Structure 1
């Protein structure tokens, strides 16, 4: 481990809050048989992690970022991802961006909880693939791996924000019958974001699927609808 990575971990440890260290394992479901089984927590809040990431992202090497990404502590991995996002956002060439995309994909096994996915994938993969062929995301969606499937869906957030919905809708359709509620939430969230940009596009999708889609996904998708329309969807009477 390099001196810099040791300093980063020490800084995070110094900012740990004991009450958070006790709460986070329950919040992120790290108990036996839960989706985050075995994950460990220092008890560091996100603003402190971002502060550390902003202080080092210009000087840290990819090898050092990888050391952090492979750490057993959740907050160390998340800080590494914040560093990677800050680094990516400063790059100007497609070649340099591709290097970070390849690095991210190589280490995707360590992007292994919903907040790690949500804090990084759309800003790196979503950005890079905005105007590129998107086979990668269908492969991730078909992987049978919870975090890779969530990565596929949440990456579309970047495209949705820029008015591109087709792939997001196809991924939502592919994942809509997934058994896990973390995918239901991801699908519903992205549908809601589409509706924020173009209500009719979301409405057309929901008219086709609302009667059979998981209730959690539906509730997320219609969260901002007018109460009367929301009731029609929930009652199955549209």
Structure 2
């Protein structure tokens, strides 16, 4: 593609904006921090496929945008590059470093969920994971959500230790969007190792935030779900 740059990506994106979709986004996200132009996420993701070779410097420029869909496009491109088998190690490192350096712009739950698994978790798969524990202790909830969401990559490979350890650090988290992330990835870890999940719940269910517990026990049988709800 001749015009592989941030300006062209945003120009193409704006061709699909809609006031009706914008109002839907504003009702759904219920936040005054982001500005929406009303482009369906499916359209964002399709455009990201066309711009999959967008270089990190241009992705950085997209992350500067105050438009949510533009930043979502940047994260979708980053995710697609990180997933692609032909992406060289040097580019994977650039994407990982860009994600962490610009985490102030990756500040909503959907943006975290778009990039954290493959850009962060995938990069750390064969490396030390200390950074996830630093993120879990961050004052910013979106960084704490990255810490637990990145472990999804390890879960898919059958590794659940990091998920349970980071979940334990986040048991007292004040943010509902972190509770949901922790509960969901505990559930996924439990699908791999049900006894580990039961042991975790035996120890922590009584003190877990309600929504975290509800998400974590969704795949257990009804009697077990009732048991753990009663502990709380």
TM-score tier, shorter chain, comes to over 0.9
Q: 2:56 aligns with which of 48, 52, 62?
A: 62
User: Which consecutive unaligned segments of at least 5 residues does structure 2 have?
Assistant: none
After TM superposition, the score normalised by the length of structure 2 is: 0.93
Structure 1: distance between partners of 2:102 and 2:6: 17
Structure 1: distance between partners of 2:182 and 2:38: 29
CA contact (8 A) 2:56 2:94 kept: no
1:118 to partner: Cα distance: 0.4
1:27 to partner: Cα distance: 1.4
Structure 2: distance between partners of 1:176 and 1:201: 16
1:92 to partner: Cα distance: 4.5
1:78 match: secondary structure: helix
RMSD of aligned alpha carbons: 1.6
Residues 65-117 of structure 1: CA deviation (Å, up to 9, x unaligned):
11111101000000011111222233454333212211221111111100000
Taking structure 1 as reference, are residues 93 and 6 closer, same or farther at Cα in structure 2, changes over 3 Å only?
A: closer
Matches within 5 A, 1:31-180: 31=32, 38-58=33-53, 60-90=54-84, 91-180=86-175
Instruction: Give aligned pairs, total.
Output: 229
1:200 to partner: Cα distance: 0.9
Confirm whether residue 200 of structure 1 aligns to residue 222 of structure 2. Answer: no
Confirm whether residue 5 of structure 1 aligns to residue 6 of structure 2. Answer: yes
Structure 2: distance between partners of 1:86 and 1:181: 28
Larger mean CA deviation between 93-102 and 157-166 belongs to: 93-102
1:159 match: secondary structure: helix
* Moved beyond 6 Å, runs of 4+: none
After TM superposition, the score normalised by the length of structure 1 is: 0.91
The corresponding residue for 2:21 is: 20
